[in-house]
Amino acid sequence: MPRTEDFDAFVATRGHALVRLALVLTGGLPDAEDVVQDVLAKALPRWRKISAMADPEAYLRRMVVNTHISSWRRFRRHETPVEAVLSSENATDSADTVLNSDENRRLWSAVLSLTPTQRVAVALRFHEGLSYAEIADLTGTREATARSHVFRGLERLRSVLKGEL
Amino acid sequence: MTEQHDDLETRLAAVLRAQTAGTPRSTDLAAAARRLNGTRRRNLLLTVATMAAVVVAITTTIVLVGGNPDRPSSPSPAPPASFDGTDWIPDGFRAESYDGIEIAVPEDWRYGDLSQWCVPEDHEAPVFDRPGGISTLVGCIGPGGYGVQFLQTGETDLEGAADREFPDDAAVRSRSFDHLRVLVVVRGETLADQIIGTAHEIVGLDTAGCAGSEQLSLARTPDLTPDEGGPISVCRYDVHSNRASLVQSELLSPSDSESARAALDAAPEARPARCSAENGAQGEVVLLRTAEGPLAWVHTFSCLGTVVEWDGTVRKLTPDVLHWAYSPGWSGVVPDGVNFRLRTFR
């Protein structure tokens, strides 16, 4: 029987971080919450073993990434960047300053134009602050592959933003 | 160029952080996950029940419309008349046990994870899926693979299988017992019938020599019997309160049994003065036994971590002990970080 109180405590403290990661991956809060709920529903029956792992959050982050990629493959989503997708409605003051910059709005739109694997790598690198080795471990790829995804993602961003920087 | 790199990367990190900084907190993530899990469990069980009904309906229809009785057919093998001994195991099959149920599967099947939360998209080879392990691939989706899976029918501890999609060419069979349902998904109606026909409750000891359940408590060492030689049964249990349900069983060969004894003898003693057994309500233990009774058990002491009791002494777990105490297919957290070599598929 899963230790539900432990599960609840973990979700209360770290669930929000998973939603934020999912938000960067999916580009929208409803989709992000769907992904995280999906992941947590799958994790709940196995919580006893997951919670005994050295880093349960890393395991759930991997689930979030895989669920996002699998969902993208299933529905063959081809998101089209929109002009203004940044939401500053709930942002903090400092975040609001960042979000209100036109350049940064275009950068976020450019992020949404990345391929799913590039976006995952970029999000893990620049949002989660993971090393290439950690990204490789989390995505089940080699470190060189993770590095390549980040590099190509950045190249694509530069291409989209060409002339701005 | 370097400045351009730095500028983009700095801006990118700032934009990503800013984008999520104002994310409203979802207050009911855990509750929502629990509801979703319950819905999936019901959907899966309904799917299995529906498929079984369809099979019955199709069979009935063929009889009613008088399908050609002279048409050559491949009659499904009759279920074994008795599950005593090993005669019930078809040639080329092996026995597997889980939570009081024993079933025979083709000898070349490996162990794997068929639960919906992770089935690689290119998964083709059938596997025996024993709930409870740690999967290294998680969150995958797509049609489930082939093999045998156990679904808990109780209100708790369903191990993941949900929203199951079956391959188009799959023959699906299921059989319910009091506490769980056995699900068989294979290519070929005859094979499906043959496998599901062997599923039965363990009465006494299973083929490997392990009881389907034991009255074991994490707080009390079972009565261990003196070793008088003979093949060793490796019985892994999941303990809830004072009930231990069998997770996996294996009968070691005579030579492997001797190697296991040597590993136990070589393990250094671990007992300090006054140390009580773990009082936790649940956990995993491994009981090593012969036909004479329990010989040794691997469990957790609160002050010592996971140990093995053998030959009247509490001993430290060594890589060699774990090598024999965990059967092929085991997955999970290695006790106390001991680095051991898991035996591969026999």
Instruction: Provide the 8-state DSSP code for B136.
Output: S
Of A4, A41, A48, which has the smallest distance from its Cβ to B36's Cβ? A41
Q: Can you name the residues that pair with B300 across neighbouring β-strands?
A: B306
The candidate with the shortest Cα–Cα distance to B321, out of B244, B235, B259, is B259
| Chain A residues near residue B25 by CB distance under 8 angstroms | 16
How many helices (H) and strands (E) chain A has is answered by 9, 0
Of B7, B23, B332, which has the smallest distance from its Cβ to A165's Cβ? B7
Name the residue with higher pLDDT: B154 or B60. Answer: B154
The Cα A36–Cα A45 span in angstroms is 15
Instruction: Provide the 8-state DSSP code for A45.
Output: G
Highest mean pLDDT among A112-121, B192-201, B270-279: B192-201
> Looking at the predicted structure, is the pLDDT value of residue B107 above 60?
yes
> Model confidence over A77-88: pLDDT tens digits?
444 333 334 444
Are the C-beta atoms of residues B296 and B312 closer than 8 Å to each other? no
Q: What is the pLDDT of residue B314?
A: 86
The answer to whether the Cα torsion of A46, B234, B345, B86 is positive or negative is: negative
> Looking at the predicted structure, is the pLDDT value of residue A23 above 70?
yes
**C-alpha separations of B150 from A88, B158, B183, B190 in Å:** 47, 9, 6, 20
The residue type found at B293 is: G
> CB distance from B10 to chain A under 8 Å?
no
Mean pLDDT for the stretch of residues B99-128: 74
Sheet holding B293-301, edge to edge: B213-214, B243-251, B233-240, B282-290, B293-301, B305-310, B313-316
Cβ-based neighbours of B302, under 8 Å, separated by 6 or more: B275, B276, B277, B278, B279
User: Three-state secondary structure along A98-148?
Assistant: HHCCHHHHHHHHHHHCCCHHHHHHHHHHHCCCCCHHHHHHHHCCCHHHHHH
> Looking at the predicted structure, is the pLDDT value of residue A151 above 80?
yes
> CB distance from A28 to chain B under 8 Å?
no
> CB distance from A107 to chain B under 8 Å?
yes
Instruction: Provide the 8-state DSSP code for B277.
Output: B
> Model confidence over B128-142: pLDDT tens digits?
877 765 554 444 444
The Cα B345–Cα B337 span in angstroms is 23
Q: What is the pLDDT of residue A133?
A: 87
The Cα A77–Cα B118 span in angstroms is 21
Q: What is the pLDDT of residue B74?
A: 57
Name the residue with higher pLDDT: B129 or B53. Answer: B129
Mean pLDDT for the stretch of residues B79-90: 84
The candidate with the shortest Cα–Cα distance to B202, out of B235, B172, B240, is B235
Are the C-beta atoms of residues B114 and B94 closer than 8 Å to each other? no
The Cα A153–Cα B1 span in angstroms is 17
Indicate which of B2, B3, B12, B41 best probes the interface with A, i.e. most A CBs within 10 Å of its own CB: B12
Q: What is the pLDDT of residue A90?
A: 46
Position B46 confidence tier, pLDDT thresholds 50, 70, 90: low
Instruction: Provide the 8-state DSSP code for B178.
Output: S
Are the C-beta atoms of residues A24 and B19 closer than 8 Å to each other? yes
> Looking at the predicted structure, is the pLDDT value of residue B234 above 70?
yes
Indicate which of B1, B9, B11, B15 best probes the interface with A, i.e. most A CBs within 10 Å of its own CB: B15
Q: How far B70 CA lies from chain A's nearest CA (Å)?
A: 45
Q: ipTM of the assembly?
A: 0.78
Are the C-beta atoms of residues B328 and B111 closer than 8 Å to each other? yes
Q: What angle do CA B137, B141, B145 make, to 5 degrees?
A: 80
Q: What is the pLDDT of residue B5?
A: 52
Residue numbers of B between 138 and 157 with CB closer than 8 Å to A: 138-142, 156-157
Are the C-beta atoms of residues B78 and B88 closer than 8 Å to each other? no
Q: What is the pLDDT of residue B263?
A: 95
> Looking at the predicted structure, is the pLDDT value of residue B116 above 70?
no
Sheet holding B200-201, edge to edge: B93-98, B101-106, B200-201
Q: What is the CA radius of gyration of chain A?
A: 17
> Model confidence over A36-48: pLDDT tens digits?
988 888 888 778 7
Q: How far B37 CA lies from chain A's nearest CA (Å)?
A: 5
Minimum mean pLDDT among A26-35, A77-86, B181-190: which range? A77-86
> Looking at the predicted structure, is the pLDDT value of residue A68 above 50?
yes
Question: Whole-structure pTM over 0.80, yes or no?
Answer: no
Measured in degrees and rounded to the nearest 5, phi and psi for residue A163 equal 95, -15
Q: What is the pLDDT of residue A42?
A: 80
Minimum mean pLDDT among A16-20, B186-190, B237-241, B274-278: which range? B274-278
Are the C-beta atoms of residues B283 and B323 closer than 8 Å to each other? no
Other beta carbons within 10 Å of A9: 13
B147-152 and B127-129 as β-strands: parallel, antiparallel, unpaired? parallel
Tell me the two tokens of residue A80: 């089209």
The candidate with the shortest Cα–Cα distance to B245, out of B210, B290, B198, B197, is B210
Of B23, B116, B132, which has the smallest distance from its Cβ to A29's Cβ? B23
B93-98 and B101-106 as β-strands: parallel, antiparallel, unpaired? antiparallel
The Cα A92–Cα A68 span in angstroms is 27
**C-alpha separations of B28 from A16, A42, B25, B121 in Å:** 11, 16, 9, 32
Name the residue with higher pLDDT: B120 or A61. Answer: A61
The Cα A42–Cα B117 span in angstroms is 6
Q: What is the pLDDT of residue B50?
A: 52
Mean pLDDT for the stretch of residues A93-98: 57
Highest mean pLDDT among A42-46, B278-282, B288-292: B288-292
Minimum mean pLDDT among A148-162, B8-22, B170-184, B268-282: which range? B268-282
The Cα B342–Cα B323 span in angstroms is 5
Tell me the two tokens of residue B23: 């994310």
Q: What angle do CA B178, B183, B187 make, to 5 degrees?
A: 155
Q: What is the pLDDT of residue A71?
A: 66
